[in-house]
A and B are shown apart, each in its own frame.
Chain A
Amino acid sequence: MGLEFLQYSFMLRGFAAGLIVAVIAPLIGVFLVLKRYSLIADTLSHVSLAGISIGLLFGLNPGLTSLGLTVATALGLEKMRRGKIYSEAALAIFLSGSLALAVVIFSLARGFNINLLNYLFGSVLTVSARDIYLIASLAIIIFAGILFFFKELVAVTFDEEAAQVSGLPVRSINTIFIIMAALAVSISIPVVGVLLIAALVVIPAVTALRFKKNLVKTIVYAEVISILAVISGIILSYYLNLAAGGTIVLLMLAVFIIVSLYKREKKYVYVRSDQK
């Protein structure tokens, strides 16, 4: 199987967008999973869809309205979490509420002349050059942000209270992180679509965690899994004429299952080494 499909500029763009998302999603994903926030990615992606529909309804740039609404919701959710009124139920309400809003707006304006399915399941082939610029610049911001705050993110993710007592600005770090998560979700939509983003964010992270390495290695493993799945997913989908987003996610799931079987938790008796 050759790479001759890259001679088409639309394929090249799709490939570029896919790779950028493949790098960014697990970077955010590992921290989300460790914070037990996995569901947030799913919720934010649906909010993002509502943002897109609002943009289309009012003739604004849907990319920007989606970005704005997603970041605002992420900040709201973080505030609720701080106020201890955050729960899985709140996420579910936001998720279905924004999906409902999006569906109603889409049905209101049948003249949108766009395909809802492209947003739901992604469409690497319709990524425009302008999309690429937006995705790439946001990705650089996210990447630089995670790198800059890496050690603080580790401390806060590992033990929020101890981090706060030690004098770290826990609230600001959580806020910055949730904004970056919202940006990552927004930029992933063209590639995998609203319904499959959570998979891209969560599956490589969960798979990498199975290897039981330290955090940096876990992130590297997650990146490798994600990049390989996106590349092979796009190529496979091109040659077999499959949906790219779905193919990518299925490949990731396959890797997850193989790794899980291989790294199955041993049923061990917990012998404390200080009990010898």
Chain B
Amino acid sequence: MKLDHSKNIIEVENVSFSYGQTVVLEDISLVVHPGDYLALIGPNGAGKTTLLKLMLGLLVPTRGKIKLFGRDISGSKRLNQISYVPQQGDGSDINFPISVYEVVATGRYSRVGIGRSLKPSDEELIKKALEQTGMWNQKDKLIGELSGGQKQRVYIARALSSEPEIIFLDEPTRGLDREAEADLYKLMRQLNREKGLTLVLVSHDVEKVTVEAMHIACLDRNLVCHNSPAEFLADSNLVDMFGEKTRVITHHHHK
């Protein structure tokens, strides 16, 4: 499917979400355009990951609706247009007996079909994704042998191998050192600017995403802002609310 720039990729319309009695998100509306690079920021517990999972169809809104390419996400077949790089850090992959190549291959499986094996064209795409992320020379290593930054590259490669139009990333730079973090932002910038991939990123790192992303959405149960980084930075109230809070958390994470 070719990109149709007249359509919005994601439309979130008056979405609320509660876990039992706890309201996590309230009346959120926002739109993601093709080629966008949107960063969701906000303090811990602001509902960033929840909004991401709602957009991915992993959670169902309590109220409101979410459209993917103009169609309601709950009923639509996904057609592999979206990919997901989940939050890392629980370490469950450390002892998993799977090679880097095999991890990236799992991104192709839904396209290949059950009971069938990878075709040469699939293998080409896996190779391309590994090369794009600079991980081709590590393809035979087990995933548990890699550093945090390398793992993230592998998970981005897995996302790329399904040829998506949009990739959702949940705190991809969490726990990385400065250099690995800078490398990862550079990779995401390339994917967005050069390959035209739409990116939606959850982040704590306000300083970084105001430089990298095209749009910033500030969440604190409600959608407090949704504008360009320049507009965000010009609003001292917003910077006070989101910049400071998140900066403290960021430092905490890196210690």
Contacts and interface: CB of A to CB of B under 8 A. Distances in A.
Interface of A: 34, 148-149, 151-152, 154-155, 158-159, 161-168, 209, 212-215, 217-218, 270, 272-275
B177 interface: yes
Nearest to B117: A151
Given A217-B97, A272-B149, A158 B103 contact: yes
Given A148-B114, A161-B58, A209-B95, 16 more contacts: A151-B105, A151-B106, A151-B112, A158-B96, A158-B106, A159-B86, A167-B80, A167-B110, A168-B110, A212-B95, A213-B142, A214-B98, A272-B147, A273-B146, A273-B150, A274-B183
Contacts of B177: 272, 274-275
Contact of A164 (B58, B142, B144, B147): B58
B86 A162 contact: yes
B80 A166 contact: yes
Contact of B84 (A162, A218, A272): A162
B96 A275 contact: no
B46 interface: no
B16 interface: no
**Interface core residue of A148, A152, A161, A274 (most chain B CB under 10 Å):** A274
Contacts of A270: 147
27 contacts: A148-B115, A151-B105, A154-B106, A158-B93, A158-B98, A158-B103, A161-B58, A163-B106, A164-B58, A165-B82, A165-B84, A165-B168, A166-B78, A166-B106, A166-B162, A167-B77, A167-B79, A167-B110, A213-B97, A215-B98, A217-B97, A272-B147, A272-B148, A274-B147, A274-B177, A274-B183, A275-B147
Interface residues of B, number: 44
Nearest to A159: B86
B86 to A, nearest CB: 6
Contacts of B86: 159, 161-162
Interface string B134-157: 000000001010111110000100
Contacts of A155: 106, 109
A213 B145 CA distance: 11
Q: 7 closest A-B pairs (Cβ-Cβ)? A: A272-B147, A167-B110, A155-B106, A165-B84, A218-B97, A274-B149, A167-B78
For chain B, what secondary structure do more than half of its interface residues adopt (helix, strand, loop), or is it mixed?
mixed
Given A215-B102, A274-B183, A165 B97 contact: no
Contacts of B183: 274
A151 B142 CA distance: 17
Contacts of B235: none
For chain A, what secondary structure do more than half of its interface residues adopt (helix, strand, loop), or is it mixed?
helix
Nearest to B115: A148
Interface in B103-140: 103, 105-107, 109-110, 112, 114-115, 117
A97 B114 CA distance: 37
Interface in B171-207: 177, 179-180, 183
A85 to B, nearest CB: 13
A270 B142 CA distance: 15
Contacts of A158: 93, 96, 98, 103, 106
Contacts of A275: 147, 177, 179-180
